[in-house]
Homo-oligomer: A and B are copies of this chain.
Amino acid sequence: MTTAELKLATTSATTLSTTMKALVYHGLGKYAWEDKPRPAIQDPGDAIVRITTSTICGTDLHILKGDLASVTDGRILGHEGIGVIEQIGTGVSEFHAGDKVIISCVTACLKCDFCRRGMYSHCRDGGWILGNTLDGTQAQYVRIPHADGSLYNFPVGGDEEELVMLSDILPTGFECGVLNGQVKPGDTVAIVGAGPVGLAVLLTAQFYSPAAIFMIDLDDKRLAVAKKFGATTLINSADGQAAHHVMELTEGAGVDVVIEAVGLPATFAICQDIVAAGGRIANVGVHGKPVELHMEKLWDRNISLTTRLVDTVTTPMLLKVVRSGKLQPGKLVTHRFAMNDIIKAYDTFGNAAKEGALKVVLTNGGSR
């Protein structure tokens, strides 16, 4: 199909200006808020979304540090956002221009074998591509491929700041941590890492009424937040004795579920030390190095260990729970910036410990 045909095929015929502002990565440590061409429909399944709210993820910081080779110079960052659809391709059936939507961090064609199994994370024409191999959401506009599988209707009366947490952090904490960890009523749960993702685990673990949630972190400020969010026991791991404390607290039994939300060999080691016989270790953290797995101790302990890139299959369910009032993800927001001030927002988020930052919210105000 030619571009001309596509233009005809789109349902909205607005005359668009040709440029926009975006946060662009320029290699190790370099990034700028600069002019970029506005995205246009390329495939029948595409939607162009005008971003109204976005946020910054820990993964974005990793990109800036050069940790992700898949992200190249010139890429617009960001994989979280709320916006309004400007245009749709001819193959989009579930959305229309003008719809307000939540953008999922994972793009799903819905047709491939992985999508059919609910493993959108490994979609053969999607997965995590936004702000990675495709231009992302820290911009005024973004092109969303496979829009029908990758967008969700923003509910009437919803709060953008709350619901932008559904783009990534809440399904990540819930699917990779809580669902994979199979948290059950009465369980004892330990969460290693009280950063934003660990806190998202904490919030969503409570869907299942565990009897106790131990929160383990080096930072007392984050632990204090965890307390407010429902952790029953706080353990500062600075003394290197976190595992020892957990074993004492559980009278040597260990915990039913331990959720790794950091991504380091040291935190992974804690998980192995405290998992109960018959327990589950659910990994959420992004790891850059191998870890030592003590199979000589674990082979007969009847444990399971899971890994997962978020599939975002639970987004509709999380929406229902947020709307019912049982989950208040707005709690995770500590700072707010205009999108134009995104460089400041990165500074704040990059100094999270000092700034007491969890999630920083970015809003595109004004007219388009």
Which residues of A are in contact with B by a Cβ distance under 8 Å? 1, 5, 8-9, 44-45, 90-91, 93-94, 109-119, 121-122, 148-149, 180, 184-186, 206-212, 232, 263, 268, 277-278, 283, 285-296, 298-309, 311, 313, 316-321, 323-324, 326-327
Q: A291 and B295: CB pair below 8 A?
A: yes
Please measure, in the bound complex, the distance between the C-alpha atom of A154 and the C-alpha atom of B320, giving whole angstroms. Answer: 38
Q: B313 and A184: CB pair below 8 A?
A: no
Please measure, in the bound complex, the distance between the C-alpha atom of A321 and the C-alpha atom of B184, giving whole angstroms. Answer: 10
Q: B5 and A1: CB pair below 8 A?
A: no
Contacts of A184 in B (CB 8 A): 317
Contacts of A324 in B (CB 8 A): 186, 209-212, 232
Contacts of A309 in B (CB 8 A): 299-302
Copies in the complex: 4
Q: B121 and A302: CB pair below 8 A?
A: yes
Contacts of A306 in B (CB 8 A): 302-305
Q: Among the listed B45, B211, B268, B321, which residue makes an inter-chain contact with A320, where contact means beta carbons less than 8 Å apart?
A: B211
Q: B185 and A116: CB pair below 8 A?
A: no
Q: B207 and A208: CB pair below 8 A?
A: yes
Task: Add 10 more A-B contacts to A122-B302, A185-B320, A303-B306 (CB < 8 A).
Answer: A45-B91, A94-B112, A122-B277, A208-B209, A211-B321, A286-B299, A290-B296, A295-B307, A301-B309, A304-B305
Please measure, in the bound complex, the distance between the C-alpha atom of A206 and the C-alpha atom of B207, giving whole angstroms. Answer: 9
Please measure, in the bound complex, the distance between the C-alpha atom of A298 and the C-alpha atom of B303, giving whole angstroms. Answer: 17
Contacts of A313 in B (CB 8 A): 116
Q: A294 and B290: CB pair below 8 A?
A: yes
Say yes or no: A278-B186 contact (C-beta < 8 A), given A321-B209, A324-B211.
no
Say yes or no: A298-B304 contact (C-beta < 8 A), given A116-B313, A207-B209.
no
**Cβ of A269 to closest chain B Cβ, rounded Å:** 11
Q: B278 and A122: CB pair below 8 A?
A: yes
Contacts of A286 in B (CB 8 A): 299-300
